[in-house]
Structure 1
Amino acid sequence: MNILIADDLKIYRLALKLYIHKHWPEAVVYEASTMHEVVEDVFDVEFDLLILDINMPGSELLEGFVAQAIKYTKIIIFSDMDNDDPRVENLIKIGADAFLPKMSQQATVISTLEFVFSEREL
């Protein structure tokens, strides 16, 4: 399984990567720090999941990107915003599969990933 974690803060990327590898050791995890990197990388690898920070550089491209990417992969929106923030709500309406708050405990991260993975066989 191929997963791309996109966040401008390396600490969040590393934490998510550790959680993923702890529970899915076979996963190949890629990292990006800007939305521009995501747009470039998404054509190089067939991703099973994209975890996208809502506030990274280039995030003005996020809504349009999500609208296209949902046709090909699962998407989790990753943010320090509340899930009732209008931008988060809009991304879920567009078709993002889940919302994951940045301050989530490990159990919440894992359960969110399991939920998204259960939606489609990988």
Structure 2
Amino acid sequence: MKILLADDHSMIRQGLVLLLKQSYPSAEITEKSNAGELKDALEQHKYDIVITDLFMPGPPVIEIIKHIRDAGNKVPIIILSMSLPERNAVRVIRAGANGYLSKDTVPDELIRAMQFVLQGRKYITPEIAALLADAYLDDVEKKPHEKLSDREFEVFQMLSQGKTVTQIAEALHVSINTISTYKSRILEKMNFQSFADIIKYAHAHSLI
């Protein structure tokens, strides 16, 4: 089995490799440390399964998933994240991921999730299933933050954490002008007047 493993923290990758080798001792595991390397690997090689962190330096992982799905690549993808499911699970499943796990539950759930997705099934916990159902029912009346694109939502989350435009630009490897443009779009789409409105909204909707 060829496994592509992507996470920007080497300690986490080491732990995941040990976990994977216990169940798949003969697996060939390729490690990547950022989203750019993940994208290149998916475009240049074939894998049986992909396990990746959601937030890494480089292009948004959600956009990478959409890109390879549009290109016809059906490799099973499991997303790992430190954030709560309600923040990102619906977005990544809709983008084409086959499973979403909180890193806190990885030791207990990762191998089971792999068994599901390798059989062509999606690994969706009851909690995420409820979120998906709510999302489809609420599509007609979207909340303000649900009107944002995936990249805009990522910038919104970082702004709501108190990061400056410069810090976000450095983290995402884009220009300050690009982040300023995203910030303006966010304020416009969400009908906000100031940065303080972003913080207040994020706290009120448990998005921070």
User: Common fold, TM-score beyond 0.5?
Assistant: yes
Q: Which residue of 1 aligns with 2:91?
A: 90
Q: Could you say which residue in structure 1 is the equivalent of 2:40? A: 40
Q: Which residue of structure 1 lines up, in the alignment, with residue 180 of structure 2? A: none
Letter in structure 1 aligned against 2:65: V
8 Å contact from structure 2 (residues 62, 95) kept in 1:
yes
Q: Distance in 1 between matches of 2:103 and 2:55?
A: 11
CA shift digits 1:47-97 (9 cap, x unpaired): 111112111111x43222101334321111110011111x33211111100
Q: Does 1:55 align with 2:52?
A: no
* Greater fraction of residues in strand: 1
Runs of 4+ that moved beyond 3 A? none
2:12 corresponds to which residue?
Answer: 12
TM-score normalised per structure 1 = 0.86
Deviations 1:14-68 (A, max 9, x none): 111111111011211111110011122223321111112111111x432221013
Q: Distance in 2 between matches of 1:28 and 1:61?
A: 26
TM-score, normalising length: structure 2: 0.53
Amino acid at match of 1:75: I
Equivalent residue number for residue 27 of structure 1? 27
* Number of aligned positions between the proteins: 118
**1:109-120 → structure 2 map (5 Å cutoff):** 109-119=110-120
Indicate the SS of the match to 1:31.
strand
- Secondary structure in structure 2 of the residue aligned to 1:84: helix
Deviation at 1:7, TM superposition (A): 0.6
- Structure ranking higher in helix proportion: 2
Instruction: Map 1:76-87 to 2 at 5 A.
Output: 76-85=78-87, 87=88
- Whose Rg is larger? 2
> Which one has more relative contact order, counting CA pairs under 8 Å at least 6 apart?
1
| Structure 1 gap segments, 5+ residues each | none
Change in 2 beyond 3 A, CA 1:61/1:106: closer
- Alignment partner of 2:114: what SS? helix
Output the aligned Cα RMSD.
1.6
* Matching of residue 68 in structure 1 with residue 60 in structure 2: no
